[in-house]
């Protein structure tokens, strides 16, 4: 039985919840020892080779791969839901230009709740419809805000295109070529889910009090933002861009470690070996570097990786998805502060999948803290306090 704390003895406190399982799940398996990642049993390598973001989203929400008709209907519904209400565009226009895209996204998703006619519908079907609306609108919001802050005309979504193509279009105003769109599509697949990570846990905690789906996604976006989580891609690329050449990369690593600081984009709570997503994205970055003239960035990133793996690999610290995703996004021309929001474009699918699974057998999350403060404090009237 739980304790209110402060008694005798010492409880087992799991700061960071390393070894705590909060539920059974069928969605995502992360093998941190072998470096494997599965969505509903499908290996991430197979999905990144053969699937699309839309198909992967269907898999995460329905637990099985769609047939051709199901995928066509799903993709069409997602595309049809991409337009955002005028009120949301006005809201984005009212934000300070300095607002980070991930903050603009969090604010806009929160505001979107008021536009949803089914906001409080609690059936799985209603929630899937809401999920479709939110997931479809997230890339539109990020694209619109990015253009607004740069004083550019907002580009409306085009239902002819898949998420990756349309997201790039709405950011840049130009339809990307097929290869570029496919690279982003693969990145979205790789980021779609990752079991009970901090953002998904935040969504689950929010979900456990039975609010609406929008509230759970807002909690998740807020949590994703931090540099220890989905903000690591931005922090990592900024560090890499500040390194002058591959020759000084090792020195940067040694100095950072000697100062007791972290090299962002490395380390993971679950993976103690190579993150399979990082390996896939590293190959992509290598190919892209020549085509985009970013050879130096690739060589700097590789040199940092080599020094890190040599220095801290034996402690189980390897590059994670954010490290190479940041490099790839940069080579695709995305501004660094768009990286966390781009992560959210993909991860919304995983958040929804986990929230709906949790709602299948809901219990409010209510852990304990061990009270170590005073117990006999005497209330002194304000005039008598020193």
Among 101, 157, 176, 265, binds ligand COA (CB under 6 A): 265
Residue 239's nearest CA partner among 327, 316, 331, 320 is: 327
Q: Could you tell me where the beta strands, DSSP code E, fall in the chain?
A: 28-31, 36-39, 42-43
State yes or no: residue 193 binds ligand COA (CB under 6 A): no
Q: Which is nearer to ligand COA, 155 or 224 (CB)?
A: 224
Q: Which of residues 229-248 bind ligand COA (CB under 6 A)?
A: 229, 232
Q: Which of residues 275-314 bind ligand COA (CB under 6 A)?
A: 312
Beta carbons of 320 and 275 less than 8 angstroms apart: yes
**Separation CA 53–CA 225 (nearest Å):** 22
**Separation CA 194–CA 27 (nearest Å):** 9
Beta carbons of 238 and 336 less than 8 angstroms apart: yes
CB of 275 to ligand COA, least distance (A): 8
Q: What is the largest CA-CA distance in the chain?
A: 76
CB of 222 to ligand COA, least distance (A): 16
Q: Which of residues 123-142 bind ligand COA (CB under 6 A)?
A: none
Among 27, 113, 136, 263, binds ligand COA (CB under 6 A): 263
Among 75, 320, 342, 349, binds ligand COA (CB under 6 A): 320
Q: Which is nearer to ligand COA, 169 or 268 (CB)?
A: 268
Stretch touching ligand COA by CB under 6 A, among 49-57, 174-182, 315-323, 335-343: 315-323
Stretch touching ligand COA by CB under 6 A, among 40-48, 54-62, 255-263, 327-335: 255-263
Beta carbons of 37 and 29 less than 8 angstroms apart: yes
**Separation CA 31–CA 23 (nearest Å):** 17
**Separation CA 364–CA 169 (nearest Å):** 41
State yes or no: residue 322 binds ligand COA (CB under 6 A): yes
364 token code pair: 């409010």
Write out the catalytic residue numbers: 268, 322
**Separation CA 137–CA 118 (nearest Å):** 16
DSSP 37: E
Residue whose tokens read 């599965």: 38
**Separation CA 155–CA 174 (nearest Å):** 9
Q: Which is nearer to ligand COA, 62 or 269 (CB)?
A: 269
Q: Which is nearer to ligand COA, 121 or 227 (CB)?
A: 227
The residue of the chain with the least Cβ separation from ligand COA equals 267
- Dihedrals φ, ψ of 361, to 5°? -155, 65
Beta carbons of 100 and 208 less than 8 angstroms apart: no
Q: Which is nearer to ligand COA, 129 or 269 (CB)?
A: 269
Among 12, 86, 160, 315, binds ligand COA (CB under 6 A): 315
Stretch touching ligand COA by CB under 6 A, among 102-110, 117-125, 178-186, 225-233: 225-233
Q: Which of residues 11-50 bind ligand COA (CB under 6 A)?
A: 16
Stretch touching ligand COA by CB under 6 A, among 101-109, 112-120, 163-171, 316-324: 316-324
CB of 228 to ligand COA, least distance (A): 4
DSSP helix/strand/coil, 319: strand
**Separation CA 299–CA 224 (nearest Å):** 28
Among 139, 157, 199, 267, binds ligand COA (CB under 6 A): 267
Q: Report the interface residues with ligand COA, using CB under 6 A.
A: 16, 228-229, 232, 257, 262-269, 312, 315, 317, 320-322
């Amino acid at each position: 039985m739980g304790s209110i704390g402060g008694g005798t003895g010492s409880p087992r406190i799991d700061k960071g919840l390393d070894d705590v399982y909060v539920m059974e799940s069928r969605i995502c398996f992360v093998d941190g020892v072998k470096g494997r990642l599965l969505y509903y049993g499908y290996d991430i390598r197979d999905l990144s080779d053969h699937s699309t973001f839309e198909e992967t989203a269907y898999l995460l929400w329905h637990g099985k791969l769609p047939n051709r008709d199901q995928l066509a209907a799903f993709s069409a519904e997602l595309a049809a839901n991409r337009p955002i209400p005028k009120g949301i565009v006005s809201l984005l226009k009212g934000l300070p230009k300095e607002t980070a895209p991930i903050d603009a996204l969090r604010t806009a998703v929160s505001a979107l709740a008021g536009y949803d006619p089914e906001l409080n519908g609690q059936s799985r079907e209603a929630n899937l419809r809401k999920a479709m609306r939110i997931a479809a609108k997230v890339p539109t919001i990020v694209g619109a805000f990015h253009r607004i802050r740069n004083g550019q005309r907002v580009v409306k979504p085009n239902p002819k295109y898949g998420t990756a193509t349309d997201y790039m279009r709405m950011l840049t105003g130009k339809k990307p070529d097929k290869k570029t769109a496919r690279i982003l599509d693969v990145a979205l697949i790789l980021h779609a889910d990752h079991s009970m990570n901090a953002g998904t846990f935040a969504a689950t905690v929010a979900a456990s009090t039975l609010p609406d789906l929008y509230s759970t996604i807002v909690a998740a976006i807020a949590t994703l933002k931090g540099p220890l989580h989905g903000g690591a891609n931005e922090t990592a690329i900024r560090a890499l861009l500040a390194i002058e050449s591959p020759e000084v990369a090792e020195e940067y690593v040694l100095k950072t470690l000697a100062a007791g600081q972290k090299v962002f984009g490395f380390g993971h709570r679950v993976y103690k070996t190579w993150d399979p997503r990082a390996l896939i994205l590293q190959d992509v970055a290598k190919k892209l570097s020549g085509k985009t003239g970013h050879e130096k960035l690739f060589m700097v990133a590789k040199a940092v990786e080599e020094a890190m793996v040599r220095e801290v690999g034996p402690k189980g610290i390897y590059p994670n998805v954010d490290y190479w995703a940041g490099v790839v996004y940069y080579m695709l021309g995305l501004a660094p502060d768009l990286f966390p929001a781009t992560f959210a474009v993909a991860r919304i699918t995983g958040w929804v999948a986990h929230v709906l699974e949790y709602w299948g057998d809901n219990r409010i999350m209510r852990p304990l803290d061990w009270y170590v403060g005073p117990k006999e404090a005497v209330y002194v009237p304000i005039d008598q306090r020193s």
